[in-house]
Amino acid sequence: MSKFYITTPLYYVNASPHIGHAYTNVICDCLARFRRIQGDSVFFLTGTDEHGEKIKRAADAENTSVENFVNSKVSVFKNLWNKLDISYDFFIRTTDNFHKETVGKAIKILFDKGDIYKAKYRGFYCMPCESFWTEAQVKEADGCPLCKRGVEEIVEDNYFFKLSKYESWLKSYLKEKPDLIRPRIRYNEVMGFLDNNVLEDLCISRPKKRVSWGIDFPADSNFVVYVWFDALLNYISAVGFDRDEGRFNSLWPADIQLIGKDIIRHHAIFWPIMLKALGLEPPRIIFAHGWWKIGEDKISKSKGNIVNPLELIEEFGVSALRYFLLREVPVGMDGNFSYKTIINRINSDLANDLGNLVYRVLNMAQKYFSGRIDAGNVNIPDSFNSSLHELSKEYAAYMNEVDFASALDAIWKFIGVMNKFVEEVKPWILWKEAKTDELKWFLFSLLEGIRITSIYIYPFMPRVSESILEQLGLVPEKDIGLENVLWRKRTFVIKKGNPLFPRIDVD
Ligand code: ME8
């Protein structure tokens, strides 16, 4: 059994979560569930990023105290994760006391080491992105390089973290570990950035007269800590850094940190350097997925083109939404969101291929054998054998690579084999000709095939997997586990339910 520590970004609470936030957490949930059914000991962390002027202003706009505002937004996020079946183990808030203490301690360690100093700062600030840019960067992008909006010039005293001191270390570390930043296109982006730019020291404080809502800068109460420096430290504060050594050593380094490609530099440059300076190992993998877009535009709260995941759950159900997000676009690439594509996916893959198969087979089991099918002749059909063999060989490899589209393809190939088997064997003829043994073998094969499929799809659609197993008369808590994907002799006692995925009519 290995440990598996997985993290999502901490989302800003200045607005409600949209489909992009849902996407990252569904990816992490799928990986966490896969690791659990593989028998690993998983720690899955998510949470909220609650400091900074952007959040204070959002609270002011709602005429409420910032404390009330962040508390109410946190419930909105938790409610969404609950509805999306996100099985996180811990929800961290950057306003948690233990986190604030860790940030203070980390800064003190870096100060004592000589990695933090005070100096005059001149820069260009983008409030929506909570990011500072140099004059050259702003000129080149004609505004904020991330969101293209206007920026504010700022000159003030501040504290700096010596990123530059670690530049050559980072370059050689990343050269040695070309698989740390994934997919490869993001690794190349980061290496290209490091090759073409000299790293400047990072301004990690904000004067309180300008930014009042944040963690007090240790030993200088005129300042608060820069939100990114505060938020990145969550990944170690959540697992006991400088508080619970045993726990921390058993979980750190994180095995995979999922982010969107928008925040790759913070995670692939600032974060490993912060860790190195603190004497800690970088995470094993930083995986940046692509963006959901509408047309050419990234879906984003500041653009106002958001798609509300709660409405999609209401309309299509949580399993269909999870399936769509994980199947439609290879993780790492951008995807275009449209109702048409989600409906097509549901009707073809879920209602037709999977839902119909389960419904028909359970119906036949009910009709021909009153729902009780024992093993009889348990020889696995040849076509099942080769397809399942391939699936069991490929599944874990694809899942470990976060290649969900290929993992689902392999599962759906087997579903295709089962559907073809029904068409070829023509059970209604076996019934007419009273070939009971053959009919039983046929149904047992399909039930066993469906049972195995339900385990493979569990990380993607846990509810569907559980519902199938219950309809097969099995106990999900006991039967979901990758050790159970082997073909076995057993007796099924069917408890047929409703169709899993009703077809969606399109006008
Ligand atoms: O950046 N497509 O928080 P944030 C796919 N607080 N994913 C998207 C997306 C889209 N259109 N829009 C957002 C922050 N995301 C910081 C992080 S971590 C220490 C601090 C997802 O609320 C994606 O995961 O702006 C992206 O990286 C994240 O939301 C940004 O969330």
CATH of the domain at 364: 1.10.730.10
Residue 248 lies inside a defined structural domain of this protein: no
Statement: residue 404 has pLDDT above 90: yes
Which two structure tokens, joined as six digits, stand for 302?
Answer: 């500041």
Residue 49 lies inside a defined structural domain of this protein: no
For 357-374, write each residue's pLDDT tens digit: 999 999 999 999 999 998
Residue nearest to atom 19 of ligand 1 (CA): 232
Residue 198 lies inside a defined structural domain of this protein: no
Nearest C-alpha neighbor of 235 from the set 205, 266, 261, 204? 266
Nearest C-alpha neighbor of 233 from the set 218, 246, 219, 222? 218
Residue 486 lies inside a defined structural domain of this protein: yes
Q: Tell me if 262 CB under 6 Å of ligand 1.
A: yes
Residue nearest to atom 18 of ligand 1 (CA): 9
Distance CA 124, CA 150 (A): 9
Contacts of residue 56, defined as CB under 8 A and 6 or more positions apart, other chains included, come to 66, 211, 212, 213
- Write down the pLDDT at residue 376: 66
86: confidence class by pLDDT, cuts 50, 70, 90: very high
- Write down the pLDDT at residue 127: 80
Report the percent of the chain where pLDDT is more than 70: 99
Residue 438 lies inside a defined structural domain of this protein: yes
- Write down the pLDDT at residue 129: 82
- Write down the pLDDT at residue 336: 94
Interval 84-101 mean pLDDT: 98
State the SS3 of 177-200: CCCCEECHHHHHHHHHHHHHCCCC
Interval 289-310 mean pLDDT: 90
Interval 76-103 mean pLDDT: 98
Q: Tell me if 241 CB under 6 Å of ligand 1.
A: no
Residue nearest to atom 23 of ligand 1 (CA): 260
Report the percent of the chain where pLDDT is more than 90: 88
Q: Tell me if 213 CB under 6 Å of ligand 1.
A: no
279: confidence class by pLDDT, cuts 50, 70, 90: very high
**How would you classify the pairing of strands 256-260 and 286-289?**
parallel
For 373-390, write each residue's pLDDT tens digit: 987 666 899 999 999 999
Instruction: Tell me how far the alpha carbon of residue 230 lies from the centroid of ligand 1, in angstroms.
Output: 16
Instruction: Tell me how far the alpha carbon of residue 2 lies from the centroid of ligand 1, in angstroms.
Output: 29
Residue of 21, 147, 229, 297 with the most ligand 1 atoms within 8 Å of its CB, for mutation: 21
DSSP state of 268: I
For 2-54, write each residue's pLDDT tens digit: 999 999 999 999 989 999 999 999 999 999 999 999 999 999 999 999 999 99
Residue 129 lies inside a defined structural domain of this protein: no
Residue 426 lies inside a defined structural domain of this protein: yes
Q: Tell me if 298 CB under 6 Å of ligand 1.
A: yes
- Write down the pLDDT at residue 13: 97
For 188-225, write each residue's pLDDT tens digit: 999 999 999 999 999 999 999 888 999 999 989 999 99
Residue of 11, 28, 269, 296 with the most ligand 1 atoms within 8 Å of its CB, for mutation: 11
Please state the pTM of the whole predicted model.
0.95
Long-range contacts (CB closer than 8 Å, 24 or more residues apart) made by 252-255: 252/5, 252/280, 252/281, 253/5, 253/280, 253/281, 253/282, 253/283, 253/284, 254/5, 254/6, 254/7, 254/283, 254/284, 255/3, 255/4, 255/5, 255/6, 255/283, 255/284, 255/285
Residue 107 lies inside a defined structural domain of this protein: no
The whole-chain average pLDDT of the chain stands at 95
Statement: residue 171 has pLDDT above 70: yes
Domain that holds residue 345: 340-493
- Write down the pLDDT at residue 150: 92
Number of domains, the chain: 1
Q: Tell me if 23 CB under 6 Å of ligand 1.
A: yes
Which two structure tokens, joined as six digits, stand for 132?
Answer: 């500072």
- Write down the pLDDT at residue 377: 61
